[in-house]
Chains A and B, each alone.
Chain A
Amino acid sequence: MRKIFVSLSVALFVPLVNLASAQDASLIEAAKREGKVAWYTSLALPSSTALAKLFQDKYKGVEVEVHRTGSQRVLQRVMQEVQAGIKNADIIHTSDAGHFVLLKDKGLLMKYVPRGTAVIPDGFKDKDGFYYGMRATLTIIPYNPKIISESEAPRSWRELVDPKWKGKLVTAHPGYSGIIMTHVAALLNQFGWDYFKELSRNRLHLVQSANDPAGVVASGERPVGVNCAEYFCYKTMKQGNPLKIVYPKEGVPLVVSPTAIAKDAPHPSAAKLFTEFIFTKEAQQMLADREGLYTGHPEVTYPKDKPRLKELKLLPVDPQELEDKNAEIKKRFVEIFGA
């Protein structure tokens, strides 16, 4: 029976696979000639190096140079290099979808449609085929259960403005992190700037990366975060650190982080190969399993102890809106919080 099934499937799929693998073979060949791909990414360092390693193990001879920093810094570096005529970046990946509106407008992206993106939902795609959501991140409230009991823990974004949290909160920065940029934009739509002004009276500790509040909360430096990248908190928690996650009842900002190939990519084939790889089920599943991320891939399964996206009230933000509000959010945030 099994044999029959195998041969049947071979008979059915071989032609298709052959066609694809012929394409693949030439792409792989070209990528190997280029030898490497420079990946400007805002994915947390441990996660991005893990993904790069998975790729390198699969395609020996194509090195992934991981250049990891915050989304806004990635954009800054890309734009500085463009200005100076330096062609170094192959793939650009940030968590501020607005960046891709900007980069596309300026003609800095290469149109490329990876095969794997056929199955992902519309919210993860640019309609013209320039960029695709590689992963989705939620922003949530992390707290330290050693310091704050479950009953005391805040259940909503609004509760965080309560003066009882004065000196106990930490926030990441939209001027660094695309996740936090999207987070602020999402909450602005709910509560307006007054919410942030009230929040600032609680004397927040400011860090940069959306991942950093996890460490700050787990160490006890501040017992509660007013935001944090959920996947990083999940990982921190799984490593045995004292940290718990609250999915606030008003809704959870959904951050879709696109990836795109730079128009002047010095290693275009390697960039295409890596982009193809990113959207394979294998890579997307790895992001979900190992890194605790959500993805647009419909067949990916998630750890049992994480909520399904459809169980949550999600607060997505439109990329165009993010691009429009980027400068204002950076400026107002600094005015309100001081730096």
Chain B
Amino acid sequence: MSLPGAGVLGKLRVAGRPGLRRIDATLPVWVGAALFLVFLMLLPLGSIFVTSLRDEHGITLRNYLDVFTEEAFFKAIWNTVVVSFWVGVIALGIGALLGWLVTRTDLPWKRAIRALVMASFVTPPFLGAFAWTLLAGPNAGLLNKLYRSLTGSEEHLLNIFTIEGLIFVMALYSFPYVFSMIANVCELISSDLEDAANILGAGKMRVALSITLPLAAPALVGGFIIAFLHSLSLFGAPAILGLPSGIHTITTQIWALFQYPPRLDLAAAFSVPLLLTTMCLIALQKKILGRRGYSTVGGKGGQRRLVQLGVLRFPVLLLVVGILSLSVFLPYWILLKAALSKAWAVPLTWDNFTLGNFGFAFFSYGDTQRAILNTFKLGILTATVGTLIAALIAYITNRQIFRGARFLNFFALAPLVVPGIVLAVGLFIAYTRPPLALYGTIWILFVAYLTKEMPIGFSQAETTFKSIHPELEEASRIVGANRLRALRDVTAPLARSGLIAAWCFIFVGVIRELSASILLFTPKSKVVSVVIFDLKEEGQIGVIAVLGILLLVVSFLVIFTVQRLVGRDVLASRE
């Protein structure tokens, strides 16, 4: 066993004064957490560092030199920064606007809008990107055709195969993260302060600028960082939209370095800056969001009054529907059309209608059935195991069952700093060779998914346990129940809906995962997202559309079923 684990255990022994019994109870948890950290994080990431510093002659910095002096690599980094920055800005704009509108104004159809935002969240970005190639390819794209036939122009309106196009699409599928953050905060800011300012004579504008904005500022910055990070880690969208016009990003470059003859050394060296950037940004975000100086944010006190939009109500609604049609309606429509046509670019007439794509995808093409099976196996397995571990850690840290329990937080949240593709590079290097030859089985994907989804599952579980006051458990213990019984009879039923939400988050996250899967699959362990990417490379548009629809339908079915079971909006937080 490697050193950090032993170090933790050593400390534990010193700290565990209160008695042997306690140590016994907590030891397995610590050992488990340490193993978790070592195998899922330290070994893969350590492998990256080691590989990046080695060549056939020994230790060297040459890989780094190669990476940072080669113009193409440098360009990929620059593209990534530019794209992620603008994705952050645009996603922030859309997400904040929508988040504020559905929580603090009298906008109609709020539930429907929340549902549509959730649909954008559930849509895999690579699928959105694929749909947009059909909508806004400069020549055959249907929106451009429409534009040309309306205006008589020869030019195109949109070209999706550009940096701008890439930013646009990635922002469409990053804004839900900002949305959920802003919506949560907006629901917590009470109107008292705004009222006070109003009474003192401030106008609407002044109130917004001097009261609401500063209150929401940490969430805004946090939202920007989340969107930035999300876009930094995406692989599918830049591969589908960037590569056709020769635009590489860091993730596509890392993927390209895996092609034969593989340059794992360079891929590793190239992963390190991505990793460090993510670490710094997460630290920054933590710092900003951790500054909880505002007592108004953080409790459910006070009243929240809805802003009357007045005459703007319907224009604003139109704007919102417009935005959501870009991320949901238009892409879904084109997917359906492509799935049902022989030639997607031609109008869907009887001549052009076919069910052949469905038949081919489900019955003729062997990969699909295996991949569907693998995907759902992994989805259910990861979600179940992930939720259990997340719940366990969250319960322990929340109830402070033993000393130092809050350090477990770190274990559960650490994977947040590792982009999927970097994790995959590490897992690939670490687990390709015996004795730990996970590569070639679906277990390496399981490990990747579990690690990647742990922070999400954990935060969801933590929120859940925070909202259940220990008093309830204590009451049951006073009347004679032991800890386990209290957990079973009191806490578990109360936590149920929150944990099921965590399960959903993980499940949806897994079945749409591409950036790690693309490096870790083998023909035997393909998943649907990888099959879609494979088909994209071959240009099998109808079949991709079918599989994309399948992914969406299953995701929605799962969410709806769970919502029915639980009886509330899973992803729409506190309504």
Contact (A339, B537) CB under 8 Å given A49-B365, A72-B259, A221-B140: no
Bound complex: CA of A240 vs CA of B351, how far in Å? Answer: 11
Query: Looking at the complex, which one of B161, B243, B248, B539 makes contact with A212 (CB distance below 8 Å)?
Result: B539
Cβ–Cβ < 8 Å partners of B260 in chain A: 72, 75-76, 79
Q: Which of A152-160, A202-210, A284-292 lies at the binding interface?
A: A202-210
Give the shortest distance, in Å, between B136 (CB) and chain A (any CB).
11
Cβ–Cβ < 8 Å partners of A81 in chain B: 440, 522
Query: Looking at the complex, which one of A67, A79, A206, A215 makes contact with B539 (CB distance below 8 Å)?
Result: A215
Q: Which of A19-27, A83-91, A253-261 lies at the binding interface?
A: A83-91
> Is the C-beta of B72 less than 8 angstroms from some C-beta in chain A?
yes
> Is the C-beta of B242 less than 8 angstroms from some C-beta in chain A?
yes
Produce 1/0 per residue, A194-229, CB < 8 A to B. 000000000101111101101110111111000000
A85 touches B343 (CB 8 A): no
Give the shortest distance, in Å, between A20 (CB) and chain B (any CB).
30
Cβ–Cβ < 8 Å partners of A53 in chain B: 364
Contact (A84, B432) CB under 8 Å given A219-B344, A339-B248: yes
> Is the C-beta of B115 less than 8 angstroms from some C-beta in chain A?
no
Bound complex: CA of A205 vs CA of B161, how far in Å? Answer: 9
Bound complex: CA of A223 vs CA of B259, how far in Å? Answer: 30
Cβ–Cβ < 8 Å partners of A77 in chain B: 522-523
> Is the C-beta of B315 less than 8 angstroms from some C-beta in chain A?
no
Cβ–Cβ < 8 Å partners of A280 in chain B: none
A49 touches B364 (CB 8 A): yes
A338 touches B366 (CB 8 A): no
Query: Looking at the complex, which one of B161, B258, B367 makes contact with A67 (CB distance below 8 Å)?
Result: B367
Cβ–Cβ < 8 Å partners of A175 in chain B: 256, 259
Contact (A216, B539) CB under 8 Å given A53-B364, A79-B260, A81-B440: yes
Bound complex: CA of A205 vs CA of B365, how far in Å? Answer: 28
Give the interface size bracket for B toward A.
Answer: 35 or more
> Is the C-beta of A239 less than 8 angstroms from some C-beta in chain B?
yes
User: Which A residues from 89 to 119 make CB contacts under 8 A with B?
Assistant: 89
Query: Looking at the complex, which one of B245, B248, B259, B364 makes contact with A205 (CB distance below 8 Å)?
Result: B245
- The binding surface of chain B is classed by DSSP as loop
> Is the C-beta of A54 less than 8 angstroms from some C-beta in chain B?
no
Give the shortest distance, in Å, between A235 (CB) and chain B (any CB).
12
Give the shortest distance, in Å, between A219 (CB) and chain B (any CB).
4
Produce 1/0 per residue, B237-264, CB < 8 A to A. 0000011111110001000101111100
Bound complex: CA of A241 vs CA of B137, how far in Å? Answer: 19
Cβ–Cβ < 8 Å partners of B248 in chain A: 338-339
> Is the C-beta of A135 less than 8 angstroms from some C-beta in chain B?
no
A76 touches B243 (CB 8 A): no
Cβ–Cβ < 8 Å partners of A45 in chain B: 365, 535, 538, 540, 543
A44 touches B538 (CB 8 A): yes
Cβ–Cβ < 8 Å partners of B242 in chain A: 339
Cβ–Cβ < 8 Å partners of B537 in chain A: 69-70, 73, 176, 207-209, 212
> Is the C-beta of B439 less than 8 angstroms from some C-beta in chain A?
yes
User: Which B residues from 524 to 563 make CB contacts under 8 A with A?
Assistant: 524, 534-535, 537-541, 543
User: Which A residues from 296 to 339 make CB contacts under 8 A with B?
Assistant: 327, 330, 334-335, 337-339
A212 touches B247 (CB 8 A): no
Cβ–Cβ < 8 Å partners of A239 in chain B: 342
Cβ–Cβ < 8 Å partners of A73 in chain B: 259, 537
> Is the C-beta of B469 less than 8 angstroms from some C-beta in chain A?
no
> Is the C-beta of B571 less than 8 angstroms from some C-beta in chain A?
no
Produce 1/0 per residue, B351-386, CB < 8 A to A. 000000000100011110000000000000000000
> Is the C-beta of B413 less than 8 angstroms from some C-beta in chain A?
no
Give the interface size bracket for A toward B.
Answer: 35 or more
Closest to B133 in A: A221
Most chain B CB inside 10 Å of its own CB: which residue of A86, A208, A221? A221
A334 touches B72 (CB 8 A): yes
Closest to B141 in A: A221
Cβ–Cβ < 8 Å partners of B534 in chain A: 68-69
Bound complex: CA of A106 vs CA of B21, how far in Å? Answer: 60
Cβ–Cβ < 8 Å partners of B434 in chain A: 85
Give the shortest distance, in Å, between B373 (CB) and chain A (any CB).
13
Give the shortest distance, in Å, between A13 (CB) and chain B (any CB).
36
Bound complex: CA of A249 vs CA of B342, how far in Å? Answer: 33
User: Which A residues from 20 to 71 make CB contacts under 8 A with B?
Assistant: 38, 40, 44-46, 49, 52-53, 63-70
B345 touches A220 (CB 8 A): yes
Bound complex: CA of A207 vs CA of B241, how far in Å? Answer: 10
> Is the C-beta of A190 less than 8 angstroms from some C-beta in chain B?
no
> Is the C-beta of A80 less than 8 angstroms from some C-beta in chain B?
yes
Give the shortest distance, in Å, between B253 (CB) and chain A (any CB).
9
Bound complex: CA of A240 vs CA of B258, how far in Å? Answer: 39
B259 touches A209 (CB 8 A): no
A221 touches B139 (CB 8 A): yes
Bound complex: CA of A60 vs CA of B571, how far in Å? Answer: 49
Give the shortest distance, in Å, between B527 (CB) and chain A (any CB).
14
A66 touches B538 (CB 8 A): no
Closest to A42 in B: B538
Cβ–Cβ < 8 Å partners of A76 in chain B: 258-260, 262
> Is the C-beta of B437 less than 8 angstroms from some C-beta in chain A?
yes
B246 touches A206 (CB 8 A): yes
B343 touches A218 (CB 8 A): yes
Cβ–Cβ < 8 Å partners of A167 in chain B: 138
B243 touches A339 (CB 8 A): yes
Give the shortest distance, in Å, between A10 (CB) and chain B (any CB).
38
Cβ–Cβ < 8 Å partners of B138 in chain A: 167, 221
A219 touches B440 (CB 8 A): no
Bound complex: CA of A223 vs CA of B535, how far in Å? Answer: 22
Cβ–Cβ < 8 Å partners of A207 in chain B: 244, 537, 539
A88 touches B367 (CB 8 A): no
Closest to B434 in A: A85
Bound complex: CA of A147 vs CA of B244, how far in Å? Answer: 21
Closest to B438 in A: A84
Give the shortest distance, in Å, between B456 (CB) and chain A (any CB).
30
Cβ–Cβ < 8 Å partners of B343 in chain A: 218-219, 241
Give the shortest distance, in Å, between B25 (CB) and chain A (any CB).
40
Closest to B134 in A: A219
B244 touches A206 (CB 8 A): yes
10 more contacts with CB within 8 A, not counting A69-B537, A221-B139, are: A45-B535, A49-B364, A69-B534, A79-B262, A84-B439, A86-B439, A206-B246, A219-B140, A240-B342, A339-B243
Some 6 contacts from A to B, beta carbons below 8 A apart, are A76-B258, A80-B439, A207-B244, A215-B539, A330-B259, A337-B246
CB within 8 Å of B: which residues of A? 38, 40, 44-46, 49, 52-53, 63-70, 72-73, 75-77, 79-81, 83-86, 88-89, 167, 175-176, 203, 205-209, 211-212, 214-216, 218-223, 239-241, 327, 330, 334-335, 337-339
User: What 5 pairs across the A-B complex have the smallest Cβ distances?
Assistant: A338-B246, A212-B539, A67-B523, A221-B140, A219-B345
CB within 8 Å of A: which residues of B? 72, 137-141, 161, 242-248, 252, 256, 258-262, 342-345, 360, 364-367, 432-434, 437, 439-440, 522-524, 534-535, 537-541, 543
